[in-house]
Chains A and B, each alone.
Chain A
Amino acid sequence: QSALTQPASVSGSPGQSITISCTGTSSDVGGYNYVSWYQQHPDKVPKLMIYDVSKRPSGVSNRFSGSKSGNTASLTISGLQAEDEAHYYCCSYAGSSSFVLFGGGTKLTVL
């Protein structure tokens, strides 16, 4: 059960768009359309931002979008805002033996 691979950090200026990648294998990200993304602000609990690769829960801004190609999933945030500065974690179903795996997390800095 190896963690999914995410960049340790990304940054962008207000108004710009950024993309965070999440690389797994054919046994997890590539094998199922069950990828999710969580946002965690410092000292706060995680918040579900994307599920089923690209769906947004009610109340999540449409500036957040998800996609997947092969073994890599991506989270794109458009129109960056200061409040988007947080850690982001991808998560994927990994079959009945492993159930779910999280990525190592990416710290987003809004410059």
Chain B
Amino acid sequence: EVQLVESGGGLVKPGGSLRLSCAASGFTFSSYSMNWVRQAPGKGLKWVSSISSSNSYIYYADSVKGRFTISRDNAKNSLYLQMNSLGAEDAAVYYCARGTPGYCSGGSCLSYYMDVWGKGTTVTVSS
């Protein structure tokens, strides 16, 4: 079964840091791009960051650029999001999502679409 399981969320003080993890199983992790998408309580989806299958391409939303770092370990089938300088605006459920297959070039895969989603991990920012 294809599965994504996020972890690492929790309560953090403003200005603090948190590292989210996403464990993938049931598919060849190294062949897919991966994404982080967040959703504040009662609000819509917001794209946060994406990484290609081979780490060649990395993208961030302007709102997190310079504060968040996406990374992956294909040997461990894991995706990460290091979040620093957290503020109230970062409080949300963070979803890990797999890029759709088939968008590969030069040995690296990068998709604009997300076909498998984890259940999310909640980040709360409060003093």
Contacts and interface: CB of A to CB of B under 8 A. Distances in A.
A57 B113 CA distance: 11
Interface stretch (A10-18, A66-74, A97-105): A97-105
A48 B115 contact: yes
Give the contact-size bracket for chain A: 20 to 34
A89 B112 contact: no
A53 B118 CA distance: 24
Interface of A is mostly: strand
B119 A89 contact: no
Contact residue range for chain B? 20 to 34
Interface in B87-117: 95, 97, 100, 112-115, 117
A110 B83 CA distance: 39
Contacts of B27: none
A93 interface: yes
A69 to B, nearest CB: 20
A99 B47 contact: yes
A62 interface: no
16 contacts: A34-B112, A36-B113, A40-B45, A45-B117, A46-B97, A46-B117, A48-B100, A48-B115, A57-B100, A57-B115, A89-B44, A89-B45, A93-B112, A99-B47, A99-B50, A99-B112
Interface of A: 1, 3, 34, 36, 38, 40, 45-48, 51, 57, 87, 89, 91, 93, 96, 98-105
